[in-house]
Amino acid sequence: MATVVPIVTTMAKAYTRGRGFTGAEPNGDIAAVISTASARLAANGTGLMSKKVDDVEYQYSLASTFGWTLAEQAVLNRYRVRAQ
């Protein structure tokens, strides 16, 4: 988890283009997004799901890349700078 938080923080800061951050510190809303996204990523960093049928076990990808959940994105979009 210790290595995941800085990565997700950097991604959140890039997504909002620094809005909602004071230096390197996120505000409460963005900190909550960082916490939930970090926990999700740390719980399944490979993005793989395992399934076992009888004696055969196989893995498949849940998603090809990391992405924000809809709730996380709703919070981040409040701070995101958008083109006019």
HEC assignment per residue over the chain: CCCHHHHHHHHHHHHHCCCCEECCEECHHHHHHHHHHHHHHHHCCCCEEEEEECCEEEEEECCCCCCCCHHHHHHHHCCCCCCC
For the stretch 10-44, pLDDT in tens is 999 999 999 999 999 999 999 999 999 999 888 77
More confident residue, 58 or 21: 21
More confident residue, 82 or 34: 34
Give the separation between CA 37 and CA 27, rounded to whole angstroms: 15
Q: What is the pLDDT of residue 43?
A: 78
